[in-house]
Structure 1
Amino acid sequence: MKILYLDPALSGTTSGNSSTSTRLTEHWRNLGHAVTSLSVRGEFPEGEAQLRKLINESDLLVALHATHCHSILKIWHDLQKPVPLILIVGGTDLFAPVLESGEVSTEFSWACEESSRIVTLAAGLDAYYPAVRREDWRAKTRLVYQGAEPVKWNCQQYDPQQAVVIGHLRSVKDPLLPVRALEILREKWLLEQTTLKDVRLTIQHFGKMLDLNLKEQIEAAQVQLASGPLRWQWNGPVSETGIRQVMSSAPLLIMPSLHEGGANVVGEFLVSGLPIVASRVAGNLGILGEDWPALFDAGDPQALADLLLRWNQEPQFREQISRAAKNLADQHDLRREEQRWADLFGELGLASAGN
């Protein structure tokens, strides 16, 4: 089978989209299919005639992020939809318009309507479909958790003094929330040094500055929280290899996002048995579950500060998170993810490789 994949990842950057794209195309090739990846960011040097040819010569179209892929999907539609479409739901694609206006975008709605299958990367996202279309879209929605290769630790146990945030700096990821949480903890430490004398915590943020409106505040935090028992530092973008090296020291992952569609990095930490504290938003809950022991309300620095202090000071709390992470590790097994894609292709009558 020939798969044409519409890839929204920005070239030259490490991101959740780029990790997802690399992993999925590898799965599909492992299943024996020929895959052509087409970047949907920027201009198309191939021209519309070549795009039409690529679509007509394919057996399946897979699109990640309806809005970014919309112009090519319109060409596919103009060709009378010659091949099936699988739409993979991105978090920003679904939630950004919902948070702004209370409704999904026109592009997202159109793509869901026209697709043969809709894939979500976290459970429960179908609850955010429009009520009038929810039943029909839910019927063709399939959940495929993102898989990952476990990271081997270079230590024997978690380091309660180390935490990380992994993600590009943009407002939807709320990168300043951990800064505000540390400021709350620093004030508490100054008032209660006797009881909190052993508190030590460094939060490192890895990611590219995509929202320049955050630049001044980020630079100020770099200075204000550069020293002392409670520190924060921004380390800029890091490669996937670099991320895995960071993970090998068994830090705590902080997921402060205002919304998520099912972050790749969450699966990477879970499959490696690594701890997570996360905002109580749909994409996080759809992976971790409502009973995850370390959830906080999105945008609430005090709640995050309380969890960080517990993580730092309470071995029993760390053990509780550890057990929860290990219980979900199999959910993100790479072979299980690949099999789910094989099953999905089979549903569409496209199971045979090499067609």
Structure 2
Amino acid sequence: MVAMTIKPSSSRNKIKINIVTPAPVGSLHGNRITAQRWDRFLKKLGYSSRITESWAQGDTDLLIALHAYRSHDSILRFKQKYPHKPVILMMTGTDLYRDIKQHPEVLISMQLADKIVLLQSAAMEIIPKALQKKVHVIYQSVKAISRKPLLKRCFLVSVIGHLRPEKDPFCTARCLAELPSESVIRVQHLGKAMSPDMRQMAIRYQAKLPRYEWLDEVSHAQALQRLARSHLMVITSLMEGGAHVVSEAIAIGVPVVASDIPGNRGLLGESYSAYFPVGDEKALAALLHRAETEPRFYRSLEKQIHARQSLIKPAFEMRSIQSLVNSVLLSTGITHQKV
């Protein structure tokens, strides 16, 4: 039996794909980074792909929408104009762990979509059983950079993410008061304040805590370089669909201490050894101090992180995207050719 894949023609009749993300051009939001990565993969696969903040009404063979709630209007308008053309919906953390309970548009978007993408396996438990047959889990990949030599004068902890409530961004800052005085932990916090109140809180914590430095927003490349020099990364989110920064830490080999939420468990694994209860700064401080002072525990975290690296290889993600696009185009009869 001859294997079949769909591959657009090299002519002007390429299959046209529109990726919709509400994150604007120039944004360092995870949704924008994901959209840009998928756009690169799709172009490598030979498709005609573009990114917009909403569906631009042009001729489109396939719509890929990030965010069931915020992209609902684009999905609805596309399906009204092209009822037989496919939609791939990528669910975000706020879709799964907040908006699905508050906004009926999320479920409608899921019903309209031909396929639903989750960025980590634990999110499947949120999807209604009747829709689970549409689901594909595709882990976010990272083109790894080398880990840098670690500082000897301190134990450097990175917190990377924009400052907004669902990230519980100051949990790590709060935990510093729980560390013993002899600890040499230092925290670098990278991320844009998403409100004046968040900015003021970051400034106050930095002034108050000698161990804490807020660096505001930096470029993605700078963030990766700082992460690569870190002994540890902390993610304290209340909700996540599958944080790209966790995948980046895995790719580099940096151990992670994570809030105990499905979005983190789906990336790090159910048996990972460094989860803490959401918002519990005392438990977080205890894990940080243990990683700082117990070499065996720290090495075990490194080993567990390395074991997850095969899931976030770019080639693996690109093959997964190709398989998904092939299947949705085949199922909806979009013109294709055998290769």
Normalised by the length of structure 1, the TM-score is: 0.85
Q: Which letter maps to 1:96?
A: R
Question: Which residue of structure 2 aligns with residue 208 of structure 1?
Answer: 192
2:150 & 2:217 partners in 1: Cα distance? 27
Residue 16 (1) aligns with residue 30 (2): yes
**2:9 is the counterpart of 1:25:** no
User: 2-side partners of 1:262 and 1:244: how far apart?
Assistant: 18
Partner of 2:217: 237
Deviation per residue, 1:197-254 (Å, 9 max, x gap)? 3x201111101000333333222211111x3xxx011100011111121123143110
Q: Aligned residue for 2:79?
A: 77
Q: Distance in 2 between matches of 1:158 and 1:245?
A: 17
Alpha-carbon distance, 1:77 to partner: 2.6
Deviates more, 1:9-18 or 1:286-295: 9-18
Structure 1 gap ranges (5+): 45-50, 190-196
Given candidates 161, 176, 181, the residue that maps to 1:182 is 176
Partner of 2:208: 224
Taking the aligned partners of 1:352 and 1:155, their CA distance within structure 2 comes to: 49
Q: Which residue number corresponds to residue 127 of structure 1?
A: 125
Do residues 276 (structure 1) and 256 (structure 2) align? yes
Q: Which residue of 2 aligns with 1:48?
A: none
1:38 to 34, 42, 52: 52
1:338 CA drift (Å): 0.3
Q: Note if contact 2:157-2:186 (Cα within 8 Å) is conserved in structure 1.
A: yes
Q: What residue number does 1:47 align with?
A: none
CA distance in structure 2 between the aligned counterparts of 1:353 and 1:107, rounded to whole angstroms: 36
Please give the root-mean-square deviation of Cα atoms over the aligned residues, in Å: 2.1
Partner-residue secondary structure (3-state), 1:66: coil
- The question of 1:146 aligning with 2:144 is answered no
Deviation by residue 1:233-283 (Cα, 9 ceiling, x = unmatched) = 110001111112112314311000001100111111111211100001011
Which residue pairs with 2:115 in the alignment? 117
Q: CA deviation at 1:352?
A: 4.5
Per the alignment, residue 20 of structure 2 pairs with 6
8 Å Cα contact 2:142/2:251 also seen in 1: yes
1:114-136 deviation line (CA, Å, top 9, x unaligned)? 1100000011212113xxxx222
Q: Match for residue 159 of structure 2?
A: 165
SS in 1 for 2:71: helix
Q: Distance in 2 between matches of 1:296 and 1:337?
A: 29
- In the alignment, is the contact (CA less than 8 A) between 1:31 and 1:353 conserved in 2? no
- 8 Å Cα contact 1:171/1:211 also seen in 2: no
SS in 1 for 2:216: coil
Amino acid at match of 1:125: A
Measure the CA separation in 2 of the matches of 1:119 and 1:162: 35
**Offset at 1:8?**
1.9
Contact 2:147 2:253 in 1 (8 A): no
Retained in 2: the 8 A contact 1:14–1:238? Answer: no
2:69 alignment partner, SS class: helix
Distance 1:278 1:83, change over 3 A: same
- Distance in 2 between the 1:25 and 1:208 partners? 25
Structure 1 residues 344, 276: CA separation in 2 closer, same or farther (over 3 Å shift)?
same
Q: Say whether 1:337 aligns with 2:335.
A: no
**Within 5 A, what are the aligned runs for 1:290-329?**
290-329=270-309
Contact 2:228 2:254 in 1 (8 A): no
**Structure 1: how far apart are the matches of 2:335 and 2:315?**
17
Q: Secondary structure at the match of 1:235?
A: strand
2:206–2:214: 8 Å Cα contact kept in structure 1?
Answer: yes
What CA deviation, in whole Å up to 9, does each residue of 1:93-114 have, x standing for no partner? 221235xxxx252111001001
Residues 179 and 221 of structure 1 are in contact (CA less than 8 Å); yes or no, is this contact kept in structure 2? yes
Alignment: residue pair count: 321
* Cα deviation code 1:321-345 (max 9, x no counterpart): 0000000011100000000011111
Query: 2: distance between equivalents of 1:232 and 1:269?
Result: 20
Query: Which residue is equivalent to 2:66?
Result: 64
Q: Between the two proteins, what is the percent identity of the paired residues? A: 29
How has the CA–CA distance of structure 1 residues 329 and 243 changed in structure 2, closer, same or farther, with 3 Å as cutoff? Answer: same
Distance in 2, matches of 1:79 and 1:304, equals: 50
Alignment partner of 1:91 is 2:71: no
Quick one: which amino acid aligns to residue 174 of structure 2? R
Structure 2 distance, partners of 1:353, 1:161, is: 55
Give the SS at the match of 2:318: helix
**SS at 1:63 equivalent:** strand
Secondary structure in structure 2 of the residue aligned to 1:67: coil
Which residue type is aligned with residue 286 of structure 2?
D
Matches within 5 A, 1:101-112: 103=101, 105-112=103-110
The superposition leaves residues 171-220 of structure 1 with CA deviations (integer Å, 9 ceiling, x where unpaired) of 100011001110121xx43xxxxxxx3x2011111010003333332222
Does the 8 Å contact 1:159/1:249 carry over to 2? no
| CA contact 1:27–1:338 (8 Å) conserved in 2 | yes
Residue 160 of structure 1, CA deviation:
6.4
